[in-house]
Chains A and B, each alone.
Chain A
């Protein structure tokens, strides 16, 4: 792969990301799957970089999961989103940052729809007004949370305690980046670096010392795909997607995977376990898996936060081998302790994939 070709594409697809003052909305599922990621995001921006991020407990789901599962009609989704925007307007913000890729895609889609069909916007305004009495402005800037981290990646790098470098060999870690489909496949100019080779995560990895792995199925979906996972009968299809990606990246021997979507890290992480337990195949070295992280977790790691504060203990694929490679210290004793120091109990260990 000629990097010049990609750089050309990255140059073409740039977007303006505000520096400060964000209205932040959370993801429905990330809080369960990667509970610390959003907390870390806020902590890094507020405490490390002194940015203003506003958050309100009144915000709701964007309706994306229901929408993509053919349950919630688009008119409803528009009104839900209008309410989110109303909350932002009421709080006096113009920059909207969301934690979820599906939300990001859906916001982009709805804003684009309103641009093309102003009557729908009017209808939505009317509906929202009738239902809640609220009024809203369309955000001036719509950013995904990973865009924000991308924007400050160099500042983070400056403050970083660790680099994505194998301390034993001194070589950069080989990192697979996986972008959520709804980040830029629908609207290429809404993502950094376009639809085909988004730069957003690559930029972070490069800034933090890692090396990107370019493998054939790089652009392939993680396998979530809503209906493919939500309906059990279709789950084999979801699994097949993930399998295809891992088969493709395996020869490159990646050290870790970084993602920016709620579903992707979950499926890339959990399906490794399912493949191991159903087919006996592991994709990492020595019967281990390839650890999967959110970009917030990686940012937290390089900044030197305690791995257990980053929530890495809830990952299916053990992260300890990677922490060892980078040289991040951790205390195995406290891995399964709650914030209050109480033992949470050890999970049952998988049979076919190495766990710590």
Chain B
């Protein structure tokens, strides 16, 4: 392969024709409540970690659902798992479990 000094930009499109739903399917299997998120943002605004970083569970779940899992990997383990979002969530999602499952799958085999 030749290096021309530039590379094709990765597409910024959420391409739902490409099946990237593997992680989301795993998530649903292990925590079915993830399917009932209404993206209200309560979790993101009450988040303890969100005070310090741009950690945003609503967005994370949405991106996971849309198959954009790459961007989740570096941020998912920032969660302090304090559970505040779980108490605030109007739909009763097991938010901590969701974070743990995503963390597990995104970092499978990369344990330090």
Query: What residues of chain A have their CB less than 8 Å away from a CB belonging to chain B?
Result: 232-233, 235-237, 239-240, 243-244, 274-275, 277-280, 351-352
Contacts and interface: CB of A to CB of B under 8 A. Distances in A.
B4 A278 contact: yes
**6 shortest interchain CB distances as A-B pairs:** A240-B9, A235-B6, A239-B8, A236-B9, A277-B2, A236-B6
B9 A237 contact: yes
Given A277-B1, A278-B1, A280-B1, A233 B6 contact: yes
A47 to B, nearest CB: 41
Interface of B: 1-11
Most buried by B among A232, A233, A240, A279: A240
B11 A278 contact: no
A244 B9 contact: no
A236 to B, nearest CB: 4
A278 B8 contact: yes
Given A232-B6, A237-B9, A277-B2, 20 more contacts: A235-B6, A236-B6, A236-B8, A239-B6, A239-B7, A239-B9, A240-B8, A240-B9, A240-B10, A243-B8, A244-B11, A274-B4, A277-B1, A277-B4, A278-B2, A278-B3, A278-B7, A279-B8, A280-B1, A352-B1
Interface of B is mostly: loop
B6 A240 contact: no
A280 to B, nearest CB: 7
Most buried by A among B4, B5, B6, B8: B8
Contacts of A240: 8-11
Contacts of B4: 235, 274, 277-278
Nearest to B8: A239
B13 to A, nearest CB: 8
21 contacts: A232-B5, A232-B6, A233-B6, A236-B6, A236-B7, A236-B8, A236-B9, A239-B6, A239-B7, A239-B8, A240-B8, A240-B9, A243-B8, A277-B1, A278-B1, A278-B3, A278-B4, A278-B7, A280-B1, A351-B2, A352-B1
Contacts of B7: 236, 239, 278
Contacts of B11: 240, 244
A313 to B, nearest CB: 22
Contacts of B9: 236-237, 239-240
